[in-house]
Amino acid sequence: MNKDRIVESYRGYEIVAAKQTGTCKGVVWKGREQIHACTGVSLEEIVRDMKDLVDQQHDERFKARTKPPEQEEYIEAFRKILSRLSDSHLAMLKAHFYAPDQTMTATQLAKAAGYAGYSSANLQYGTVGKMLNDMLPVNLHTRSDGTPVFTSALATAGDRSGEDAHWTWKLRPEVAFAIEQLGLAT
């Protein structure tokens, strides 16, 4: 590990921080475009500050939205995260796409991905939802403690009357469209 340089992908941005001639400098990149540059006392401080900046821009993009994202935006967001999706992630997306009424329980998602129980499916499907939401912010369902349920970036919550393992998720139509258009359902 290089102690003089940190390179990190964060919410669709690339954060680069390095020690140069006695000072620490950092840059936030979006593709080939430099978004922000700064200097600071330590690399860790610079990375933290740049993440805060990215989070702020993410929140501003979400608040500026006047309507839900369109199908093409979902396709573009999925293209950006596709290389980070595991075989298990893809198996859950495909199973959800082909499920009756595109609705599944967490237990069914777990089975489709080969997980032993629903908690693994919740964690991994939530990971996909977080990756997607990092690229395309949407209004997420929140738990009673205020933390976001990232699965709601992929699907809308259905029946919640039973235990967690039997809660249902209905795939968002725009997500289903992106899955189909990108050939993830084959």
155 forms beta bridges with 171
Per-residue pLDDT band at 69 (split at 50, 70, 90): confident
Q: What is the CA radius of gyration of the chain?
A: 19
Considering the segment(s) 71-181 as one domain, its CATH architecture is Orthogonal Bundle (1.10)
Q: What is the DSSP letter of 12?
A: T
Which candidate, 178, 176, 153, 181, places its Cα nearest to that of 68?
153
Gap between the Cα atoms of 113 and 34, Å rounded: 38
Domains of the chain: which residue ranges? 5-64, 71-181
Q: Are 96 and 109 in contact (CB under 8 A)?
A: yes
Mean of per-residue pLDDT scores for the chain: 90
Give the tens place of pLDDT for each residue, 47-56.
Answer: 999 999 998 8
Stretch 45-67: mean pLDDT: 86
Stretch 129-145: mean pLDDT: 89
**All residues at 6 or more sequence positions from 136 whose CB lies less than 8 Å from its CB, including other chains:** 69, 73, 74, 76, 77, 153
- Hey, which of 7-11, 66-70, 90-94 has the most confident mean pLDDT? 90-94
| Position 3, amino acid | K
**All residues at 6 or more sequence positions from 52 whose CB lies less than 8 Å from its CB, including other chains:** none
Token duo for residue 105: 């329980």
Per-residue pLDDT band at 67 (split at 50, 70, 90): confident
What is the pTM assigned to this prediction?
A: 0.75
